[in-house]
Amino acid sequence: MFRFASLVVAVLLLTVPLAQGQGNDPLSFNRLMPSPDTRNAPPAEDGIHDAASEGTHMLQTPREAFQPLPESNAGNYVDWVTALQEEHITPRFDLNDPTRRPTVMDLNIVREVKGSMPDVVFPHKEHTEWLDCSNCHPAIFIPQRGANQMSMAEIMLGEQCGACHGRVAFPVTDCRACHSRPKDGAQAAGGQ
């Protein structure tokens, strides 16, 4: 009897949010898959700005700012690295000197990972376009081969790569952006 009652309550509660003005988008019930037209909402509709505040309506809307920028599938839905490389944006590298350019270091670090995921290729080039060496070294990463133990669990909790990836740089749901170098056949089959 109780089981039946709880089932009825569960079904009722489940159907209520589905019925409430979700439009015709079949995926709209899934909070992990926001429909494209709800992305980059203007500040007044984004759930954290106070729509009653005058300032909220004076702010630039992300949609307007992102319109000329290359797209991606996650985060801000902007491919920031390409936007910078193709000079859609020209952010300053120095607070006061707009002509100063970063010292770019072109060095890939390959990290062989356990399991069957492709190995991780870390490109210094894309990172040094945005960052200074001291942003990562030595506090987040010891600049020495083999000195940094990493795990996806720690990354998802905001350590190591997770200091930025999952916070401001593309999120860790974009697996293949980092796990990009396939292992050779024998290695992949052995799961190492």
Partner 1 sequence: MTTTSRSVISSGAERAGRRWSRRLAVLLLPLAVALPPGTADAEYADVVLNRLSEAADMAPVIFPHWFHRVRFRCKVCHSDSELGFKMRVGANPMDMQRLQEGEYCGACHNGQIAWGLENCELCHSGKMGLPTHIKGGHETSGPGRW
Residues that bind partner 1 (CB under 8 A): 2-3, 6-7, 9-10, 13-14, 16-17, 31-32, 34, 38, 40-41, 43, 45-50, 53-56, 58-60, 62, 65-66, 74-76, 78, 80, 89, 91-95, 102, 129-132, 134-135, 156, 158, 163-168, 170-173
Kindly tell me which of 138 and 182 has the beta carbon lying closer to partner 1.
138
Kindly tell me which of 122 and 188 has the beta carbon lying closer to partner 1.
122
CB of 186 to partner 1, least distance (A): 32
CB of 14 to partner 1, least distance (A): 5
- Tokens 């190492």 identify what position? 192
Radius of gyration for the chain, computed over Cα atoms and rounded to the nearest angstrom: 22
Kindly tell me which of 110 and 168 has the beta carbon lying closer to partner 1.
168
170-182-184 Cα angle (round to 5): 165
Residue-by-residue DSSP string for 133-171: HHHHTTTTS-SSTT-----HHHHHTTSGGGGTBTTTBS-
Residues in a beta bridge with 123: 108
CB of 121 to partner 1, least distance (A): 20
103, 109 in Cβ contact below 8 A?
no
* Coil, helix or strand at residue 123: strand
CB of 128 to partner 1, least distance (A): 9
Kindly tell me which of 41 and 188 has the beta carbon lying closer to partner 1.
41
Q: Which amino acid makes up residue 128?
A: T
CB of 37 to partner 1, least distance (A): 11
79, 89 in Cβ contact below 8 A?
no
Kindly tell me which of 110 and 157 has the beta carbon lying closer to partner 1.
157
Kindly tell me which of 80 and 178 has the beta carbon lying closer to partner 1.
80
Q: Exposed, middle or buried, 1 (CB in 10 Å: 0-12/13-18/19+)?
A: exposed
CB of 10 to partner 1, least distance (A): 5
Quick one: DSSP state of residue 78?
B
